[in-house]
């Protein structure tokens, strides 16, 4: 995960504050509960992306070994990652 827990908390706080100040949401439970749930979901999504990245790296290594390493690793990584995201119905 590229973000520290404190950074995730700050992002969630700012998002909630913005949504409330623009009157886009009305809280039906405590702000603390909502922030906790937001952070939980945020971290879960980051972990999904980390898992996809790790799988893409493994697949990229296999492709590179089969092709003799004669590939554009960045392009191939992005292609593999895009396919994995689509396959898992993930949003990143």
H helix runs in 22-92, sequence order:
31-66, 73-88
Integer Cα distance of 89 and 62 in angstroms? 23
Q: What is the pTM of this model?
A: 0.81
CA angle 26, 35, 30 (to 5 degrees): 50
Integer Cα distance of 32 and 7 in angstroms? 16
pLDDT tens digits for 6-55? 999 999 999 999 999 999 999 999 999 999 999 999 999 999 999 999 99
């Amino acid at each position: 995960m590229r973000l520290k827990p404190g950074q995730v908390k700050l992002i969630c706080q700012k998002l909630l504050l913005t949504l409330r100040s623009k009157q886009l949401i009305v809280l039906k439970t405590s702000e603390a509960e909502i922030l906790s749930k937001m952070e939980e979901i945020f971290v879960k999504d980051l972990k999904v992306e980390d898992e996809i990245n790790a799988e893409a790296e493994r697949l990229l290594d296999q492709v590179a070994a089969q092709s003799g390493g004669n590939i554009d690793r960045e392009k191939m990584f992005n292609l593999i990652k895009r396919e994995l995201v689509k396959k898992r119905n993930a949003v990143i």
